Amino acid sequence: MRKILFTLMVTLLMAVASSSLSRADNGPHGNFSSLTTDSCSGCHRAHTGSEAKLLMTSTASLCESCHGPVGTGADTDVWDGVYLTRDATTENPVEGVQNRGLKGGGFVNSVMNTSFAVSAVSAPSTSQHTFNGTPGLIWGNGPVGSGAGQSLVLDCASCHNPHGNAGPTGTATYRILRPIPEGSGAASGVVIADLTAKTYTVDATSGNYWGQNYGTTETSLGLWCATCHSRYLAGSGAESNSSGDPIFTFRHRTDGSGGVSCMDCHVAHGSSATMGPNSGSVAWPDDTTTPSGNNRSSLLRLDNRGICVQCHQNP
């Protein structure tokens, strides 16, 4: 009897630990602590899956059902880049400000203040990461001398693990990010630990994206970006010392040294920044010139090349 009681106690403690661990990832992502969970059927069909991995529909459609404009399963409307209080959970502490822009911007629309205006407005995104299963060119992906980049079919699950707990030994990660994005070709990953207190919206009441920082995760996020954009990663002095690559020869520092990371200039999902005649006509790394105009905004936080002025003229 004593042995049976001990076994039951260990089982209960493991269940509690597992439940606590899984809840580190928000929503249904990793929250499978119940032995008779109802979560699986929200996305999968055991015998009639219409997509790979037994999915009931495409990955982007599933994500949009919660994170899209008419979804009610998540407060983060990633399609429109805005935080809306609409899921069934009342978070404590709160995880965002109602109607304020998401830190990552939005795929279709973004609620951003890209011009130091009084307040942010919702506007169509002028550039965005590929998210709907279509091919995209990963600029700077691959070894030195391998061209402008590699083509890859990307969707939400390329970067995010929908099941959560993507870190070593099943630990939660920041924004359920995979340590190695699928198809990136990276030999090793970057594990960004999850935060206990989550904040999905920008800090400034004006919705100004310049100066928004990611705290202790900022450098790691930049290194994580480089698992795909490998030749964009550069340390101090890279602006004056050749990398040996014929395209990405001299590069801006991005590795977090000196406090400069990818996330200082760019957002992750989509930007509504606009471009002037000079910024909008900059050629892409493969020397193509389309798309141009506002579509050359390259996920930047500010209009034109305001990011350059803010560091080099108004540091």
172-207 tens-digit pLDDT: 999 999 999 999 999 999 999 999 899 999 999 999
The reported pTM is 0.88
**Does an H or E element contain 188, and which?**
none
For 260, which DSSP code?
Answer: -
Cβ atoms of 114 and 144 closer than 8 Å? no
What torsion do the CA atoms of 292, 293, 294, 297 make, to the nearest 10 degrees? 60
Cα–Cα distance list, 296 to 83, 96, 189, 303 (Å): 26, 29, 29, 11
The phi-psi region of residue 259 (left if phi > 0; otherwise alpha if psi is between -120 and 50; otherwise beta) is: left
Number of C-beta neighbours around residue 222 at 10 A: 23
- How confident is the model over 213-267, as pLDDT tens digits? 888 899 999 999 999 999 999 999 999 999 999 999 999 999 998 889 999 999 9
Instruction: Write the single-letter amino acid at 21.
Output: L
Give, for all 315 residues of the chain, the pLDDT tens digit. Answer: 444 444 433 333 333 333 333 345 777 887 777 788 888 988 999 999 999 999 999 999 999 999 999 999 999 999 999 999 998 888 889 999 999 999 999 999 999 999 999 999 999 999 999 999 999 999 999 999 999 999 999 999 999 999 998 999 889 999 999 999 999 999 999 999 999 899 999 999 999 999 888 888 999 999 999 999 999 999 999 999 999 999 999 999 999 988 899 999 999 999 999 999 999 999 999 999 999 999 999 999 999 999 999 989 875
Distances (CA, A) of 295 to 106, 256, 265, 270: 14, 27, 16, 11
